[in-house]
Structure 1
Amino acid sequence: MLEYERSLSLNFEESSRIEKDGYTVRDVSYLSPYGGKVPAYLVVPDAGGPFPAVVFMHPGQGNRTTFLSEAEALALKGVVSLLITAPAMRSHPPKNLSEEQRLNLMLEAISDIQQYTQIVVDIQRGVDLLFSFENIDVNRLAYVGHSLGATWGGVLAGVEERIKSYVLMAGLSSVSEWHKTSDHPLADLIRAKLSRERFNKFISELEPLDALHYINKAAPASLLFQFVHDDEFVPKHQADTFYSIASSPKEISWYHTDHLFTNCDAAYQDRTQWIIKQLGLDNK
């Protein structure tokens, strides 16, 4: 289900670029094995290399711009970043839809299993893209994912051997359990609006993709988990399970902030320093 043909053409395109002091932000796209194009930003330091690289995946509330400021800061330290927009965020519904129509579209998107497998495969295809560049050090590759990006980053860690380090921020170890048991308003809404038959089918297809089936296979990659006390989306037992099941080496940190880590400088500093160390830049 998570396999794809790596010999497929990347169809890499660049639509524009913005040159800044010390690096360039390139607006790019590449072909998804599921069809269509993956919109991304490629942030590249000025002359030098080969550079280590980081792939970023945003939370469900974000897009490829979410981690752009972090990628720009890393570029000044000599790191290439690839920031991808997830499949569900690549199109926007017409503005004249009713609330009921918008709700139905949202439910269709959430219950579409293909979008979840596509997230993982599109990230792997992004790694293929990075490997195609001569100025990338393919032995120093990291991943940062938040919420949506952490939940499916946990799956990615079990199937993608080329990434050496993962930062997983506020992810779910079992997204299927969340849908079945969470008292969050979104979970309540999904259970109320989907028919019993459709909901059960959704869960049965989702359960094999839970990150807890994959995160124990991440080794030898190193893992940093970042969680929030009293997270409105991620129950503590899910966080504890994610960390306890994960393979070693691994670390975990907890923060007093919201699910989106709003203005949480401590979490930003911790993951930045961890990434720098993992990429072998701490003495440079």
Structure 2
Amino acid sequence: MPGRLLALLLVLATAILAQQYTDVPFVPTSTDVVDAMLDLAGIKPGDVLVDLGSGDGRIVIAAAKRFGIHATGVEIDPDLVRKSEASARLEGLAGKTTFVQADLFQYDLRQASVVTMFLTPGFNMRLRPKLLSELRPGTRIVSHRFDLGSWAPAKTVHVNDDQIYLWVVPPRGASATGAAAPANAPAGQSFEKLAAMFSYDPAAPLDPHSDEPVPADGASVTAVSYSGARGPVSATLVTPARKSRYPAVVFVHDYGKRDEFLPETLSLARAARPFVSLLIDGPQERPVGWRRSFNSLADNNDQEIHIQAVIDIRRGIDLLAARSDVDAGRIAYVGHGYGANWGAILSSIERRLRGFVLVAAYPSLAELVESDDPEWANLRYGLGSERTARYRESISAVDPIRFTRFWAGAPILFQFGRFDSFVSRAMADRLVQSIPSAQKALFYDAGHSVNDPRALTDRADFLTHLLVTPPHRPPVK
């Protein structure tokens, strides 16, 4: 065997052994870069630093030593954790440092005010939804070498031939793109003004009520209600029979009742890796006395219904997050038709949701008004040209595509029917392409209902991978 080939094989074998606990070899960060990262973070007394993929602990130790703060390293490799602990003891910093052997995707980041990392481009993008959903506004994120995709850094510094990036977690509901508005956003509409339509008081009482649970062969079905934006919201809670703590999914229907998704949620509750599900009625489908009907003749009525629906869904997330059988850090969303449109809006403003499945969503409600569908043609005829123009202007305020441009980073699975009479292929493509980062879009031989059995399987696979399947082990510095 030629010597060069033998040497190459030895290098490969060494690399494989080095990756026993990680996806890339251990790459130490230089002292100059460590110092620059901590300087860029603007560390102050009382800060809590978490270093993701902490390697031999050098960033954690440097932060505790220089600034006197408490710092934690999260590392998957037990040997590196032990080495870090020994180094901290030698520096007399055992009381100021903590090293946790854990998967960084499972570690709770909510206590951090500073997060540092030296990972890979792929891991950074997979971490982005977690960072945005768990970290408090104002938290500083510093990454060595690799950025966070379309989320533009607040500052970039160069150290020797390397780059370090800083981001500051924006207020809840604000853009995570680093810009006030993308170039292709509707003129005159800042994200802050758009998001303000869906603001609410999360401290307002939910006043939850529930009927007696109905057993359902390995699951339990309970009719519930809670206080929404304009009165009670009717919903169904589907839970696994065994008591534990589960990921959860919010389901919101199109036309018709919330029971559209009941068979699917029962399957999820009975699965080997089960879910809790909350099926929410849209405002237009609630019991008499709670219902708000669409009425294009009443100025801004339909716009207000869409706004109410989004706020009611956010209140439903509050309801799930408060339950002892729900892991509040693992909640996703599935919506169909109108429910998908509301999910598209939520993908920009609601960071507690880890991911979305949007079924038969359309980019523009105003555009739908001009479609050839007989229902919309009759509406235009009944309104007349002047009222139709006024209705279009009002309803366009809640067009999904106004919000998807400000996507907050949680992954989206789009599902469309090839024979959908409402959503053309061009409309579907336009909505998918409005997301700043590429998302998965699947098309089925179906109409607007997207009732292909494969769509259910694809949804279940997506949700399981997103909320249940342990992620790949992260790299270390």
Give the alignment's TM-score, normalised by structure 2.
Answer: 0.54
2:206–2:227 contact (8 Å) kept in structure 1? yes
2:415–2:450 contact (8 Å) kept in structure 1? no
Q: Which residue of 2 aligns with 1:55?
A: 250
Q: Which residue of 1 aligns with 2:59?
A: none
State the shift of 1:64 in Å. Answer: 1.3
Q: Which residue of 2 aligns with 1:145?
A: 335
CA distance in 1, matches of 2:347, 2:242: 31
Moved over 4 A (4+): 104-111
Cα 1:108–1:83 shift into 2, 3 Å: farther
Q: Cα deviation per residue 1:148-195 (whole Å; 9 max; x = unaligned)?
A: 11122111111111001100011111111111x211111101111114
Q: Which residue of 2 aligns with 1:184?
A: 373
State the shift of 1:111 in Å. Answer: 5.2
CA distance in 2, matches of 1:108, 1:272: 40
CA distance in 2, matches of 1:249, 1:170: 18
2:303–2:398 contact (8 Å) kept in structure 1? no
CA distance in 2, matches of 1:47, 1:217: 39
Q: Which residue of 1 aligns with 2:100?
A: none
Q: Which residue of 1 aligns with 2:263?
A: 69
Q: Which residue of 1 aligns with 2:151?
A: none
2:349–2:408 contact (8 Å) kept in structure 1? no
Q: Cα deviation per residue 1:219-261 (whole Å; 9 max; x = unaligned)?
A: 3200000011131111221100110111335201001112112
| Higher mean C-alpha deviation, range 160-169 or range 207-216 | 207-216
| Higher mean C-alpha deviation, range 12-21 or range 63-72 | 12-21
After superposition, where does 1:216-255 map in structure 2 within 5 Å? Answer: 216-248=405-437, 250-255=439-444
2:222–2:237 contact (8 Å) kept in structure 1? yes
| Higher mean C-alpha deviation, range 114-123 or range 244-253 | 244-253
Q: Which residue of 1 aligns with 2:104?
A: none
| Higher mean C-alpha deviation, range 107-116 or range 192-201 | 107-116
Q: Which residue of 2 aligns with 1:173?
A: 363
State the shift of 1:273 in Å. Answer: 1.0
**Number of aligned residue pairs:** 269
Q: Looking at CA atoms only, which structure, 1 or 2, has the larger radius of gyration?
A: 2
Cα 1:3–1:219 shift into 2, 3 Å: closer
CA distance in 1, matches of 2:410, 2:378: 37
Select which of 227, 236, 242 maps to 1:31: 227
Cα 1:50–1:42 shift into 2, 3 Å: same
Select which of 456, 463, 466 maps to 1:278: 466
Given residue 311 of structure 2, which amino acid in structure 1 is its aligned partner?
V
Q: Any idea what SS the aligned residue of 2:212 has?
A: strand
State the shift of 1:134 in Å. Answer: 1.9
2:294–2:302 contact (8 Å) kept in structure 1? no
CA distance in 1, matches of 2:346, 2:227: 19
CA distance in 2, matches of 1:91, 1:134: 28
Select which of 265, 270, 276 maps to 2:453: 265
CA distance in 2, matches of 1:212, 1:267: 23
2:415–2:443 contact (8 Å) kept in structure 1? yes
State the shift of 1:84 in Å. Answer: 0.5
* 1:11 partnered with 2:207: yes
Cα 1:188–1:19 shift into 2, 3 Å: same
CA distance in 2, matches of 1:219, 1:280: 21
Q: Cα deviation per residue 1:33-82 (whole Å; 9 max; x = unaligned)?
A: 22x2111000111233321000001012x211110011111111320000
* 1:116 partnered with 2:312: no
Q: Which residue of 1 aligns with 2:388?
A: 199
Q: Any idea what SS the aligned residue of 1:225 has?
A: strand
State the shift of 1:90 in Å. Answer: 1.4
| Higher mean C-alpha deviation, range 194-203 or range 113-122 | 194-203
State the shift of 1:92 in Å. Answer: 5.7
State the shift of 1:18 in Å. Answer: 0.3
CA distance in 2, matches of 1:108, 1:5: 30
Q: Which residue of 1 aligns with 2:169?
A: none
* 1:84 partnered with 2:280: yes
Structure 1, unaligned runs of 5 or more: 94-103
1:8–1:33 contact (8 Å) kept in structure 2? no
CA distance in 2, matches of 1:41, 1:247: 34
Given residue 269 of structure 1, which amino acid in structure 2 is its aligned partner?
T
State the shift of 1:105 in Å. Answer: 7.2
Structure 2, unaligned runs of 5 or more: 1-196, 472-477
Cα 1:42–1:91 shift into 2, 3 Å: closer
* 1:41 partnered with 2:231: no
1:155–1:211 contact (8 Å) kept in structure 2? yes
Q: Any idea what SS the aligned residue of 2:436 has?
A: coil
CA distance in 2, matches of 1:197, 1:64: 35
Cα 1:92–1:197 shift into 2, 3 Å: farther
Q: Which residue of 1 aligns with 2:345?
A: 155
